[in-house]
Structure 1
Amino acid sequence: MLILIPGLTSIPPLWLQITIVAVWVLLILLLSWVVSRFATDDSEIVRKIVHIGTGNVILLAWWLDIPAEVGITASILASIVTLLSYRLPILPGINSVGRQSLGTFFYAVSFGILVAWFWHLQQPQYAAIGIMVMTWGDGLAALVGQRFGQHKYKVFGVNKSWEGSLTMTLASYMVSSLILLGIQGNIWQIWVVSLAVAIAATGLEAVSLLGIDNLTVPLGSASLAFVLMQLLSAN
């Protein structure tokens, strides 16, 4: 489904689609570089700028109706680059060399899987839900948890905060609701599904060993939203 700009009556050519996405990513990387110059003591801010900024590419891909093969290819290339960045200073400030997390890699992989799955089904809204829940939910949860998290708990030895988890729940609920409302209008199933997705995403985010939540949250959120909407809409 393509949401057209006023005056735009057809899908842009592929070269323009790729150019728009590439410019967006370059602007995010430029912003992260500028911020890193002034926030050298807080690399988490830089990582979350890239995390949130690049995650919104899924909306551009959906809006521009970018072919699935383009999204999958981009995901593969990004996955290779992120793997190399754990050993080489390719993405300084985003991945630290030797950092004990594969989160960035899982993030790139999840994008490709969701595009391959839901573009094929012609249901891109569910791919958008998966990525945007991770983008905004996890991104804001990390920032709030680090800045304001006073009430701590542990899951498999990983420190979490109730403030961060609550932020994850609220952001995931808002993201899921807005995307589904934009597609199907105001029906009761949307609120039920969005709540279920928010709770599930928060639980999956809490189990974040080695950054695995960057894979489980997008895939879990998207698949749960898809299955529940099919079941509830059928009744």
Structure 2
Amino acid sequence: MLTTFPGLESILPLWLQISTAAAWVLLVILIAWGVSRFTNSEPEIIRKIVHIGTGNVILLAWWLNIPAIVGITASILGSIITLLSYIFPILPGINSVGRQSLGTFFYAVSIGILVAWFWYLQQPQYAALGILTMAWGDGLAALIGQRFGKHKYKIFGSNKSWEGSLTMTFISFLISMFILLETQGNTWQTWAISIVVALVATALEAFSFLGIDNLTVPIGSAALAYFLTQILVLNSIAKY
């Protein structure tokens, strides 16, 4: 059964549902532009505003039960725009021309994959879990790590900090807990799955060569939460 907030999708017509999601993304971009234009914020701050802000659109898609084709189409268009932005200054402040990372592209691709997968299964909460883990977990981990990271380590040329990684673990755990508590209740399985997802998401985020973590973290987190739920929760119910 599709897990949504009952009534919202029936109250709002489809065009208004789509407009609401589009308006949110536009608002995030305008905020990022304003911060870039009127403050002396570092480019990384601007990127993380967009990174975190746009990720939250998955909640609107879930709550409003926006059709999968809309999310997939938006993902394809976003992927094309971000690829072009690595060559042309389409998204200044978000991507830098010649920047050695495909993170924004992978981010757009991961949204399309998760929407296609979990809308088909009628389990959109796992798509939300994956995207929000990437948006908030990775976003805050990068900001905390850059500002407060004193204890460094390196994996395949990527500089990380234990402070940033611990932030990733903590935020990933909170996101998993909030979503799974809402959808499957307060059980030991919910806590166990959240802990495992948080640890695996942190490990995946540490391997961020060319921004590949923007693909592996959301898909890996969502897939792990889904399959562990099938094994631990549904099998437990079947025994009774």
Q: TM-score range by the shorter chain?
A: over 0.9
Contact 1:11–1:64 (Cα < 8 Å) also in 2:
no
Quote the residue 2:179 is aligned against.
179
Q: Aligned letter for 1:56? A: N
Quote the residue 2:102 is aligned against.
102
Q: Aligned letter for 1:2? A: T
The alpha carbon displacement at 1:4 in A equals 4.5
Deviations 1:176-231 (A, max 9, x none): 00001111111110100000000000000000000000000001000000000110
Residue 3 of structure 1 pairs with residue 5 of structure 2: yes
The alpha carbon displacement at 1:14 in A equals 1.3
Contact 1:85–1:95 (Cα < 8 Å) also in 2:
yes
Provide the rounded CA distance (Å) in 1 between the counterparts of 2:95 and 2:196.
32
The alpha carbon displacement at 1:12 in A equals 1.9
Which 4+ runs in 1 deviate beyond 4 A?
A: none
Q: Aligned letter for 1:3? A: F
Deviations 1:147-186 (A, max 9, x none): 0000000001110000000000000000000001111111
Provide the rounded CA distance (Å) in 2 between the counterparts of 1:183 and 1:11.
22
Gapped regions of structure 2 (runs ≥ 5) = none
Quote the residue 1:36 is aligned against.
36
Provide the rounded CA distance (Å) in 1 between the counterparts of 2:65 and 2:22.
15
Quote the residue 2:20 is aligned against.
20
The alpha carbon displacement at 1:9 in A equals 7.8
Quote the residue 1:154 is aligned against.
154
Contact 1:11–1:65 (Cα < 8 Å) also in 2:
no
Provide the rounded CA distance (Å) in 2 between the counterparts of 1:192 and 1:11.
36
Provide the rounded CA distance (Å) in 2 between the counterparts of 1:167 and 1:94.
23
Quote the residue 1:144 is aligned against.
144
Contact 2:35–2:41 (Cα < 8 Å) also in 1:
no
Provide the rounded CA distance (Å) in 2 between the counterparts of 1:66 and 1:9.
8
The alpha carbon displacement at 1:2 in A equals 2.5
The alpha carbon displacement at 1:41 in A equals 5.1
- Which secondary structure state, in structure 2, belongs to the residue aligned with residue 220 of structure 1? helix
- Taking a change above 3 Å as real, the CA distance of residues 41 and 181 of structure 1, as seen in their structure-2 partners, is closer
- Which secondary structure state, in structure 2, belongs to the residue aligned with residue 10 of structure 1? helix
Quote the residue 1:118 is aligned against.
118
Deviations 1:15-34 (A, max 9, x none): 10111011101110110011
Provide the rounded CA distance (Å) in 1 between the counterparts of 2:187 and 2:170.
19
The alpha carbon displacement at 1:69 in A equals 0.6
- Which secondary structure state, in structure 1, belongs to the residue aligned with residue 10 of structure 2? coil
Gapped regions of structure 1 (runs ≥ 5) = none
Provide the rounded CA distance (Å) in 1 between the counterparts of 2:177 and 2:100.
34
The alpha carbon displacement at 1:10 in A equals 1.9
Q: Aligned letter for 2:43? A: S
- Which secondary structure state, in structure 2, belongs to the residue aligned with residue 154 of structure 1? strand
TM-score by length of 1: 0.97
Residue 216 of structure 1 pairs with residue 216 of structure 2: yes
**Identical counterparts, % of pairs:** 71
Provide the rounded CA distance (Å) in 2 between the counterparts of 1:104 and 1:40.
23
- Taking a change above 3 Å as real, the CA distance of residues 166 and 121 of structure 1, as seen in their structure-2 partners, is same
Deviations 1:110-159 (A, max 9, x none): 00000000000000011011000001100000000000000000001110
Q: Aligned letter for 1:131? A: I
